[in-house]
Amino acid sequence: MIDIEGQSALTRCVSREVVKEIQDPDKPIKFSTSPAGWNFKPFKYVEDIPWYKEVILWGTLFGFITYLMFYREGNDIDEELDMPLGKRYLKVQELHLLDEKAKLLNSGNSAITVDEELEKIKALRKKYKYE
């Protein structure tokens, strides 16, 4: 064993474990000696990072944004996002009314008011050319 300051490394490790077991649970824990009292010294500083890592990061970010803006093809999600809010509202309202109509018809009730609302929605879709 290596002798450091009159104690071997094994003795110091054993003594630390014993001290941890002896601590009184009723006493407050010292913040500076607890694991919660760690500091940021083990982390690297900005000056320690090689210069090329920053170039790689900015180049990758620029390439990704360029791809998203210019080269990516649109899909059905893009079409949904490009839909005007009025058209989206009418579409959701129509789906809700159709579901409500099906529930009313299955329960044996009349769906006349729902049919009137559906006709209003169809008229609005024609008026604003949302067909």
| Residues 42-92: tens digit of each pLDDT | 556 667 778 899 999 999 999 999 999 999 888 888 888 888 888 888 989
- What is the mean predicted confidence (pLDDT) over 102-112? 91
- Asked if 97 and 90 touch (Cβ cutoff 8 Å), the reply is no
Residue reference for tokens 């559906």: 118
Whole-structure pTM value: 0.42
Predicted local confidence at residue 74, as pLDDT:
85
Query: Structure tokens of 78?
Result: 């893009």
- CA 49 to the chain's CA centroid: 28
Position 104 pLDDT exceeds 80: yes
Query: Structure tokens of 58?
Result: 């900015």
- Asked if 19 and 33 touch (Cβ cutoff 8 Å), the reply is no
